[in-house]
Amino acid sequence: MSGLPDSRLSAPSALRNRGPILDVLREVLPAAGLVLEIASGSGEHVVHFARNLPDLSFQPTDPAPDARASVAAHAAAEGLANVRPPLALDAAAPDWPVGDVDATVCINMIHISPWASTQGLMAGAGARLPAGGPLVLYGPYVRDGIETAPSNLAFDASLKARNPAFGLRRLEDVAAEAARHGLALEQIVEMPANNLAVVFRKTG
């Protein structure tokens, strides 16, 4: 992730994948309401989504102060009124500084965080989504019965070398954790560069 002249950060991967992710979000997000983004990073995703989905409001979050500053700077540079000020939120924390939401999006967090963050994500989203509300994940996964791309295996090894608590998760484990919190797996969408968009819906 590189820096721009102000507080804005830029992630090349975000610029590459934001278009395909938006295509999925157009199909699964509600027509209006509040979308919570967990682990917003540079903010390039949320401003792209907000610009193209003006009837939705977006609540970005990130535990890192420099990321939150970047999100705010990107939103200000775009002049977007439907992006709320970013909140400090650690997905693994038991208490989140946000109430009920209509949808939740989490991009490229699960493999670069401890498993406790995925557990917290499912608990937090499950507690805040209405019946039928979507949780949309994006990133690389390992799946039973499907050969993992060599590039993803190399990525997994590099992540574990950086932090043994990181690494590509088995999608079946993620789905089982989601189910514990009333989130049913609805759709798996193959994405560029051996990534997946995974859509869950709140049951009940």
Cα separation, 78 vs 171, in Å, equals 35
Residue 51 lies in a domain: yes
Evaluate if residue 137 carries a pLDDT over 90.
yes
Residue 155 lies in a domain: no
Cα separation, 29 vs 152, in Å, equals 28
Query: Which pTM does this prediction carry?
Result: 0.95
Evaluate if residue 2 carries a pLDDT over 60.
no
| Residues composing the chain | 204
Q: Name the nearest CA neighbour of 122 among 166, 87, 91.
A: 91
From residue 147, alpha-carbon distances to 10, 108, 111, 150, 158 in Å are 32, 20, 18, 9, 19
pLDDT score recorded for residue 204: 80
pLDDT digits (tens, 9 = 90+) for 158-196: 999 999 999 999 999 999 999 999 999 999 999 999 999
The pLDDT of 62-90, averaged and rounded, is 96
Q: Which residues are bridge partners to 135 per DSSP?
A: 104, 200
Helix (H) or strand (E) holding 119: helix 115-128
Return the amino acid letter for 151.
S
Cα separation, 122 vs 181, in Å, equals 6
Q: Both ends of the chain: CA-CA distance in Å? A: 40
Residue 159 lies in a domain: no
pLDDT score recorded for residue 3: 46
Residue 85 lies in a domain: yes
pLDDT score recorded for residue 7: 86
Cα separation, 142 vs 171, in Å, equals 6
Residue 89 lies in a domain: yes
Residue 177 lies in a domain: yes
Give me the CATH number covering residue 184.
3.40.50.150
Residue 78 lies in a domain: yes
pLDDT-derived band at 1, boundaries 50, 70, 90: low
CB 136 within 8 A of CB 103: yes
How many separate domains does the chain show? Answer: 1
Average pLDDT value for the chain:
95
Domain coverage including residue 125 = 2-108+115-138+169-202
pLDDT score recorded for residue 161: 97
Residue 175 lies in a domain: yes
pLDDT digits (tens, 9 = 90+) for 10-67: 888 888 899 999 999 999 999 999 999 999 999 999 999 999 999 999 999 999 999 9
